[in-house]
Structure 1
Amino acid sequence: MLAKAVTTMVKRQLVLLSSSQVHGYELMQQPKPILIEFFKKNNVTEVIFVPYAKVNEDYDGYTKMMANAILSFELQTSVKGLHTFPDPVEAINQAHCIYIGGGNSFVLLKKLYDLNLVEVIRKRVLEDGIAYMGSSAGSNVATRSIQTTNDMPIIYPPTFDALNLVPFNINPHYFDADESSTHKGETREDRIKEFHLLNDVPVLGLREGTLLVVDDNRATLKGIVNARLFTRGESREYAPDSDLSFLLQQ
């Protein structure tokens, strides 16, 4: 009874994108209608962009690029880089919307821990109900752990445990094996199956062009292609507009 009660009380307003860039579209343009609806629903007038997944630390350039993409939504929404604030914790405590961009998930998570932001972001999103957007690495860190990222571990975070805004894992940029390829290494599916030999946590394979919209205890797949959900011993395809709310009940 207690677990159900806690689940009922959770506030979540999330958009988790496989990627901000999709083939055939300009930056952030494929999910643009969904993001506009998300911004309007949550009265987002300012976005705090977290650029820390950018390994070369061109945080100004990265923030400007994402700000220009969001400017195309024509919502008069401002974008400020978290790195420009003297006190990142205070900035997150005052934020109305957090957007964590893509890059390297290990670098990103380490930075979030170094700046004491993990628990702060989690509280702001799950208790205060502010809007959260993530793409690629930013979607990885929104989940239970970054263990199903595609990135190389070029730096050591103190733990793989992430923000845990949702109780499952994501594999962004998921793609199926090319049967005509001569490549003999492990496929993405092989890697996720290896993860499941040691971990019993669902993994949502988000192909580029897919995103998950979470509205409190409801999760809906959006996009232009299917996603693939892996659980221990099996997998299943889900089409856009599928209800994946059961994933929030882990």
Structure 2
Amino acid sequence: MPNVRTQRLKPTFWAQLKEDIRSVLERDPAARSVLEVLLTYPGVHALIIYRISHWLWQSDLRFPGRWLSFIGRWLTNVDIHPGAVIGSRFFIDHGAGVVIGETAVIGDDVTLYHGVTLGGTSWNRGKRHPTLEDGVMVGAGAKILGNITIGKGGRVGANSVVVEDVPAACTVVGIPGKIVRLRSAGTLNPYGIDLDHHLIPDPVGRAISCLLERLDALEAQVKQQTAEERYGECDPDNDICLNDCPGGQMRGRISEQVGVR
């Protein structure tokens, strides 16, 4: 019996469209019906146009693919290059100001909020845009730049700038992005997608809080000290300077002559 090589079948356009719409209903509590999602969500419109332009791009119809992508950008304010590779159940919430570059690769069940950029940092024609693995969530305004990888289940905080790889199931925040430990809070979406992107630690705020606590402790120690403990054997008498400092005696005699004390 000949060996049969099994391959993962790529879903059809209509099957992907159904999955994309269902993912919106699962992740956005404001979505009430399939018709509402299909007619009023620019992120869905941009994704539909991308699916068609990507098919044209892969069919070596590069100019029609770019032209359709341009029309989609004009209609939705979402710029997705037809050469990008995007998996199933992709959701762009609000769909405003999102930019996805030509060599970007996005896995399944990825969520982007408005203002996200998946940009390049090189003039080379090779892989120059990020890879987002399955289940990644990117907060509003975040910029992910260069040929880097955000691991499976990773989260990027709002307005962060990420220029290095992020391991799976890690959270990155800040400019430049730093990996932080995610505090446990909130509840998971019943469909398994973690949408509590606001529950992200603030490492800068925590550092400032620690400094303030340290200052309070030092001030309390100073208040408990006596004057002798604070200044030791220091004698504030000006005679020390008059007798010991170079030129002090001369300045003292001049002051006595002019009547200055």
Tell me the TM-score normalized by structure 2. 0.30
Q: Which has the higher strand share?
A: 1
Structure possessing the higher radius of gyration over alpha carbons: 2
Q: Which has the higher helix share?
A: 2
